[in-house]
Structure 1
Amino acid sequence: MAQADLLVDLVRNATSGDQLAFRKAAEGLIQEEKQKGHRLLAERLAKALQPNVAQARPSPTRPIGGAAQKELFYEITPERKLDSLVLPEKIRVQVQELIEEQHRSELLHAHNLNARSRVLLAGPPGNGKTTLAEALAFELMYPLIVIRYESLVGSYLGETSSRLKNVLDYARTQRCVLFFDEFETLGKERGDTHETGEIKRVVSSLLLQLDEMPDYVVVVAASNHPELLDRAVWRRFQLRIELPTPTRRQLTQYIDSIAKRCSVNFGYEAETIAKHLLGLNFAEVEEFCLGVVRRAVLDLKTEDAQQITKLKLEQWKGRLRPAVKRTEVVEREQEGTNS
């Protein structure tokens, strides 16, 4: 039955109170979504159809697949929305365009065009590359498959290439977002004289595999050191995004969003806290804010956590972290003031 007819039956049976017919129509819709490859959406619909009983929440990450695959990746159900991320507008627009292309891929196919499906994210650690990949998967309603390098990279000749092929073969069976963190591990420059022939063979195999991936598999690669990537690797990615260290204005917005999400009054303006934390990445700022939130909850001071925030700021001044050049901090300060 066409999806439109299933939806009409679903609404009709729901309004008439015919539970048996309603469930039959809903199950038909779920089956159709499975056949289209919309596995995550089908799972959500099936879960919504289940009786509303208290259940233990499953672990957000779990290794899956066959015996030869299950240790090579994790499949994660994404939970972060794109709107929850603090992104420069030009990056947000690019991501939204890719999402639209994926959602309307059938129209593009009718014109002999493919939806863009390969994204390269670059930038220092903690600036949101992994989070952006998760948000992309959430908006697409695709599962997020994360590669496990500790199991993927083997010590024997051809072992890594073979395992990589197994993972990509599995990804091709469904609509998904396939995420490679620290992508320079696999896509390193083949001209590097210090690298072994095995690594060069892995890169060559990876390039061939990427070329053969269908456009319904969105490949997202993240790298802290994009300068190490092979030049041929760059060409495979249609969308290349740099996520720089956040400006003061971005940190202000991010701190304010955490305060609202956690229902905690930090006792200081978000902009003031951002000034003290300028130079940190999003991950570090989130950890600072959650540290204040934890203490405020335990001390029953969520309505006014000013003293806790003040104490945490003093503690963070002496916190061990990578040195940031003063010139970089000044540049970010100026950028945040001018934006």
Structure 2
Amino acid sequence: MSRADLLVDLIKAGTRGDRGTFVRLVESMAAEERAKNHALLADRLIQGLNLNGNGRKPLGLAVPDEKALDLLHEIVPRRALDSLVLPPVVRMACDELVEEHHRADLLRTYNLEPRHRVLLAGPPGNGKTTLAEALADALMVPLFVVRYESVIGSFLGETSQRLRRVFEHIASRRCVLFFDEFDTLGKERGDTHETGEIKRVVSTLLMQIDALPSHAVTVVASNHPELLDRAVWRRFQLRLELPPPTRSMLEEWFRRFQDRVGEPLGWSPRALAMRLKGLSFAEAEQFGEDVLRRHVLALPDSNLKRIVETRLEAWQQRFTVRPDEPTRMTERIQDS
């Protein structure tokens, strides 16, 4: 939205007493100024929201403060969407989301907002955290990861209060806010084993997610989506599954890995995908790093084909400890 249109809409919202729209527009202005490194002006805009004519704070909005940074870990994104091997439906959804945010001005002329709430589900090690970072990179914004060890408190009401501080801090920033292992906070409220405190936390969390403006993209990841509260699901406009990689996806991963190395591995990507079928993307990354370490240490006389062969032998002797599949990797590979 252009600055002129933003100011006109701001005046209209103030004239008709539309408090929710007024706050959202001011937060958008603050986010734009913060993106231009005008932090002082952005803070003054947010402070203006909190004050009435007497200089008091009756509206319950908190100015973003430095203490909120203790609850978040800021990451400068370094992974690109193009570097990831994703299911086609997931890649298409991510491209659409990025386009909506880059063309948000056009959408808002039709009273539409870009989608900004994303739920990622799937077993561990298949790219949920990496995808959140890649989305932040594509949107050209920082990634803020919620630090559960700081957010979750032992006293009644402490967790909900800290969550409010997180969302108030994020509201005036263009960013991606990432909750890993979201089932830690978003558990089903109907679970009889959960305490009243957890239910209050879930209620607070859902209200804060609803109130967050669209320039702040919320991405949550869960290894156990079946544990999430039913009300959580409808909050998220995009619900994407990241399953374990297929053989063809692993083959594509090894093809890209070979391109990064800059020379033939001595084994075709197809052969490696067949030998290592059943690996997650995280395990494939570990295997690649293992090969690279041995390659660098063997320079200038490195034999990549032999290194890959010995790494395959070593990896086939590894144990894979998983609750649902406590078996040796050798057995997994031989059975496949």
Q: TM-score range by the shorter chain?
A: 0.7 to 0.9
Match of 1:140 in 2: 139
Aligned to 2:59: none
TM-score (norm 1): 0.77
Name 1:50's counterpart in structure 2.
none
SS at match of 1:219: strand
Q: Does 1:75 align with 2:81?
A: no
- Alignment correspondent of 1:315: 314
SS in structure 2 at match of 1:177? strand
User: How far apart are residue 72 of structure 1 and its match?
Assistant: 0.6
User: What's the CA shift for 1:255?
Assistant: 1.2
Cross-structure match for 2:23: none
Runs (5+) with no aligned partner, structure 1: 4-33, 44-64, 334-339
Separation in structure 1 between the aligned mates of residue 72 and residue 181 of structure 2, nearest angstrom: 14
Deviation at 1:79, TM superposition (A): 1.0
Q: Provide the rounded CA distance (Å) in 2 between the counterparts of 1:38 and 1:320.
A: 52
CA distance in 2, matches of 1:41, 1:272: 49
Query: 1:40–1:141: 8 Å Cα contact kept in structure 2?
Result: no
CA distance in 1, matches of 2:231, 2:301: 52
Kindly indicate whether residue 183 of structure 2 is the aligned counterpart of residue 165 of structure 1.
no
Check whether the contact 2:35–2:173 (CA below 8 A) recurs between aligned residues.
no
Q: Distance in 2 between matches of 1:204 and 1:247?
A: 38
The letter of the residue matching 2:168 is D
Residue 289 of structure 1: aligned partner: 288
**After TM superposition, where is structure 1 displaced by more than 6 Å over at least 4 residues in a row?**
none
Kept after mapping to 1: 8 A contact 2:295/2:307: yes
CA deviation string 1:165-220 (max 9, x = no partner): 10110101111100000000110000111111100000000111111110111000
1:160–1:257: structure 2 CA closer, same or farther, 3 Å change rule?
same
* Whole-angstrom CA distance in 1 between matches of 2:317 and 2:36: 47
Compared with structure 1, are the counterparts of its residues 184 and 310 closer, same or farther at alpha carbon in structure 2 (3 Å cutoff)?
same
- Correspondence list, 1:1-339, <5 A: 37=32, 39=34, 66-300=65-299, 304-322=303-321, 324=325
CA distance in 1, matches of 2:217, 2:137: 12
After superposition, what is the alpha-carbon deviation per residue over 1:233-283, rounded to whole angstroms, capped at 9, x for unaligned? Answer: 001000000000000110111112122113243210011111111111001
Mapped to 2, the partners of 1:302 and 1:128 lie a distance apart of: 34
CA RMSD of aligned residues (A): 2.5
Instruction: Please list every run of 5 or more consecutive structure 2 residues that lacks an aligned counterpart in the other structure.
Output: 4-28, 39-63
Q: Flag the 1:35–1:157 CA change in 2: closer, same or farther, 3 A.
A: closer
1:157 corresponds to which letter in structure 2?
A: L
Give the letter for the 1:299 counterpart.
A
CA contact (8 A) 1:41 1:141 kept: no
Worse-superposed segment, 258-267 or 182-191: 258-267
| Structure 2 equivalent of residue 31 of structure 1 | none
Q: CA 1:38–1:287 in structure 2 vs 1: closer, same or farther (change >3 Å)? A: farther
Aligned mates of 1:67, 1:282 — CA distance in 2: 36
Letter in 2 for 1:294: R
Equivalent residues of 1:78, 1:137 under 8 A apart? yes
Q: What's the CA shift for 1:321?
A: 1.0
Cα distance, 1:36 vs. partner? 5.9
> What is the TM-score normalised by the length of structure 2?
0.78
Distance (whole Å) between structure 2 residues aligned to residue 229 and residue 118 of structure 1: 15
**Residues 302 and 104 of structure 1, relative CA distance in 2, 3 Å threshold:** farther
Number of residue pairs matched by the alignment: 279
1:235 aligned partner, one-letter code: R
Q: CA 1:166–1:258 in structure 2 vs 1: closer, same or farther (change >3 Å)?
A: same
Shift of 1:113: 1.1
Q: CA deviation at 1:104?
A: 1.1
Measure the CA separation in 2 of the matches of 1:201 and 1:112. 33
Q: Distance in 2 between matches of 1:36 and 1:152?
A: 24
